[in-house]
A and B are shown apart, each in its own frame.
Chain A
Amino acid sequence: MKIVLLFSALIMGINISTSAQKHITRSGRVSFNATSAKSSEKIEAINNEAAAAINTSTSDVVFQVPIKSFKFENALMQEHFNENYMESDKFPKADFKGKYSSTQALTKDGTYNATVNGNLTIHGVSKEVQIPGIIIIKGTEITLNATFTVKLADYKVAIPNVVSDKVGKESVIKINCILKKA
């Protein structure tokens, strides 16, 4: 009897682990644009080293974005971004941890509208957020796309008065990550 119980647990265990659907990338793309509407000077940067992972059996999603990997057109702007605005030595990563929900089950290839709910941490400040996005499933690849806006003040990113007309109060963030089956 005992052995039967153990055996069934064994089989169940195997069943669950084969249905685990984890996808991962370390070369996802995250960009932001914080250009002020009034300004001609572009304040934007691209990061091609974002890490992301998704588990389709638990609906978990995690993003980790190294701040120093944001590339600006203007090297001086990049240095100031790291040194004074994001304080990258103190807060080297921005991350998101949460769960996605979609009206349809993500079982077969296709494009799905989804919403993620979770904690977004930027500049050491965590906020609960809800972000709409698109999940594309194609074979063994999952693409995560999203565009959303954050208020810099929410994450205690201080904008000095002298540049308040150049740096917007909000930043538009775009996510484009292609995750491969882990």
Chain B
Amino acid sequence: MQSIRKHFFFPLFLSSLLGISVPALAQTDSTDDLSNMLAESSGKAPKDYVYASFKTTRLINGHSIEQTGKGILDFKISHRFSTMSGGVHDFFGLDGATIRLGLDYGITKDITVGIGRSSLYKEYDGFVNARILRQTKNDDMPITLSYVGGMSITSLESSKLLGRSLVSPEKYPFSNRLYFFNQLLIARKFNNLFTLQLMPTHVHYNFVNTDSEPNDIFALGAGGRIKLNRRVSLNLEYYYQFNQLTGTSNSLSAGFDIETGGHVFQLHFTNSMGMTERTFIGQTTDKWSDGGFRFGFNIARVFTIVKPKEFSKSGEKNW
């Protein structure tokens, strides 16, 4: 009986001793105690999204899944020159240039809208790029999915437009000048070096040249980037057309994204002259195999229109 009582009390004493002296011991320990305290979970961790899948919001000609960013205005200047096949006489295409000036604006972190004006076909365009799903680091969501939709209007004199022989210029209907496109962007950043993007696309032409040509073109784009070093990536972009307008070929582009401290320059070679979806996906006429590729570049300058909330309250930085 005696021994049982002993065994009964001893652990009780021991546990009460340990239970109270553990925190006392921990204090004399160095900063690990505080580090552990901070490391303890503070509730639900925010979702860790994959970022920097591409360097900018355009792959080459078409859109990428990158967003402009809330409150950011992105002024884009893009050039495509004539084909290299002109040789020295055309200074390898630099004599002839088409240009698109564009303004993209991030309404939210997931929605960008943009407008642009191209010299080719004197065309005005507008688009919405909305991110629907976003790839997470833990692969709960393995892809990023965006929808891009847009329309464009050509302001060429009607005497220069398609179907001019069918109707007199005065009666050329305005609706014939309109083009639309719908696109899904499905992208996955496999690792820091490699990102792949697929772009199923529908382009609608309100008016085409002949009865036998389709008003709706369906294409599947594929593209990606390989980072060559921290600041340069190699990009590829290809659009395969399932049906097409007469005399067109598929758009193929290759180029480099070069990041120079807050700005990204895109330099590339492409067989497409236009920079709107209806022109480069559905109306590319040059072929790489005939030397029908050209040099082009996109440059961008971003402006912060609406500052993030951390910066918005004046004087808050001067504690």
Contact = CB atoms under 8 A, between A and B. Distances in A.
Interface of A: 6, 9-10, 12-14, 16-17, 20, 22, 24, 26, 31, 41, 46, 48, 51-55, 57-58, 60-62, 64, 71-77, 79-80, 82-84, 89, 95, 97-99, 118, 145, 160, 162-163, 166-167, 174, 176, 182
Given A10-B16, A80-B261, A162-B261, A75 B68 contact: yes
B231 interface: yes
* Chain B CB within 10 A, most for which of A9, A41, A60, A145: A60
Given A54-B34, A57-B27, A74-B302, 5 more contacts: A10-B17, A31-B317, A52-B38, A62-B34, A160-B231
Contacts of B33: 55, 60
B228 to A, nearest CB: 13
Nearest to A12: B24
Interface string B2-32: 0000000000010011001101100110110
Interface in B24-49: 24, 27-28, 30-31, 33-35, 37-39, 42
A13 B18 CA distance: 9
B308 interface: yes
Contact of A10 (B20, B70, B231): B20
Contacts of A55: 27, 33-34
Contact of B24 (A13, A48, A52, A62): A13
A80 B17 contact: no
A166 B13 CA distance: 66
Contacts of A41: 262
User: What class of interface size applies to chain B in its complex with A?
Assistant: 35 or more
Given A76-B262, A160-B261, A17 B319 contact: no
B52 interface: yes
B259 interface: yes
A46 B317 contact: yes
B290 interface: no
Nearest to B51: A79
11 contacts: A10-B20, A13-B17, A14-B20, A17-B23, A46-B317, A58-B28, A62-B35, A64-B35, A73-B304, A83-B51, A83-B230
